[in-house]
Amino acid sequence: MDKLQVVGGAIVSGEVTISGAKNAVLPIMAATLLTDQPVILDNVPLLEDVNTMRALLQKLGATVTKEDNGVLGFSTEAATQTEAPYDLVKNMRASILVLGPLLARFGHAEVAFPGGCAIGMRPVDVHLEAMEALGATISVNKGFICAKVNGRLKGCDLNLGKVTVTGTENIMMAACLAEGRTVINNAAPEPEVIDLANFLNTLGASIQGAGTHTIVIDGVERLGKPTRYQVIPDRIEAGTYLVAAAITAGSIRLNAVNPKHLEAVLALLKKAGAEISCGDDWIRLSMNGKRPKAVGFKTDIYPGIPTDMQAQLMAMNAAAEGDALMEEAVFENRLMHVPEMRRLGAHLKQVDSNVIQSSGRSSLTAAPVKATDLRASAGLVLIALMAEGSTVISRIYHLDRGYSELDSKLRSLGVDCQRITDNLEDREASEEEIG
């Protein structure tokens, strides 16, 4: 299994192009099951999660072709299988997103309970309750979610008990082909939800309100428009590179990015002392050679500080000037990177079950560490940039799930890092998707 060796001491400087969004492309790929017309997606990132979703769609009978770098073609006309097997679903929580499309188009679906990174409880009860409200019969048999409906699903008003991104997306996809109007109250407002809605509308769906907490879907009988669509840039990848520059007192320009998706993170980085300027599709950050100042934060749903940026910002605070309190308010078990960061000398004190106090240090020391999930991996890479010596991060298959060509991009920014292959280490089950 690959490991990543990072030599500390580099000042991150240069330009980097941001890839397509992992959390946008996966539901859009699942949504291709709703149509029998050809679809071409641009700006598809090179990720293991994309490969997993591609394999799942092919298992269901779809044809997925790589037409160019970052371009995938989809033909789901022959997709007649409706069982999503455990051997694929176990590796990625986003696999649950095929439930709505399969049920809406074919009237039945069998989807194994999905896997995911162990970052906290992410039950699929909201998904299942919504499908039942739309008229489906749901049962669980031998680890599979079995859903059936006679005829078309029926639109209804849904009041979600909690804000859930994948839940909102699954319901939205199912409701596209339902009879009548569906209203999703307490919907997730994330940019990735908006991107999915925009994609579905290009297929012929009728969706309004995406990006707010109330989404209205007027069902249609068929999504029959051939479509070419470009996936939005990955705001979490963008935020990670911004923090890489900030933590090393460096400077960076991000290209092919949407600054509006990062307003909360940019505001926090400005508090940390960063000088930031933005255009329509670029962001420039400079620390002017100064060490960042510690900044307190609490994660929240969009447009707040993303939980997916918590580990990266914690790494910055561990090397910043001053103390700060950081609260993880989205997932109850997303602080497993804290002991690993302490191995490098970070002063991180747990003051509550989900609150960490940092006392920034100007000097850290390299040590071997183990990644526990996707974003924790990124946090460990960032803190390793400040550690004296070479830090070896194991289990970086997590990184490959969510960061396209991370090591080569870091090298282009001046970081001394390389992959190390260790064939003797066992790979453990994992994976992640925000729900």
Contacts for 384 with CB less than 8 Å, ≥ 6 apart: 6, 8, 344, 366, 369, 391, 393
Helix, strand, or coil (residue 107): coil
Whether the Cβ atoms of residue 17 and residue 11 lie closer than 8 Å to each other: no
Backbone angles phi, psi at 221, to 5 degrees: -75, -30
184-239 pLDDT per residue, tens: 999 999 999 999 999 999 999 999 999 999 999 999 999 999 999 999 999 999 99
Identify the residue whose tokens are 């804290």: 338
Q: What predicted TM-score, i.e. pTM, was given to this entire model? A: 0.94
Identify whether 156 is a catalytic site residue: no
Contacts for 250 with CB less than 8 Å, ≥ 6 apart: 11, 12, 13, 244, 286, 287, 413, 414
Phi-psi bin for 404: left (phi > 0), alpha (psi -120 to 50), beta? Answer: beta
**Per-residue pLDDT tens digits of the chain, which is 435 residues long:** 789 999 999 999 999 999 999 999 999 999 999 999 999 999 999 999 999 999 999 999 999 999 888 999 999 999 999 999 998 888 788 899 999 999 999 999 999 987 544 434 446 889 999 999 999 999 988 889 999 999 999 999 999 999 999 999 999 999 999 999 999 999 999 999 999 999 999 999 999 999 999 999 999 999 999 999 999 999 999 999 999 999 999 999 999 999 999 999 999 999 999 999 999 999 999 999 999 999 999 999 999 999 999 999 999 999 999 999 999 999 877 899 999 999 999 999 999 999 999 999 999 999 999 998 999 999 999 999 999 999 999 999 999 999 999 999 999 999 999 999 876 544 444 434 333
Residue tagged active-site, from 117, 156, 176, 417 = 117
Phi-psi bin for 212: left (phi > 0), alpha (psi -120 to 50), beta? Answer: beta
Whether the Cβ atoms of residue 32 and residue 62 lie closer than 8 Å to each other: yes
Cα Rg, the chain, nearest whole Å: 21
Domains of the chain, first to last? 2-19+235-421 (3.65.10.10), 22-219+226-230 (3.65.10.10)
List the structure tokens of 278. Answer: 């933005």
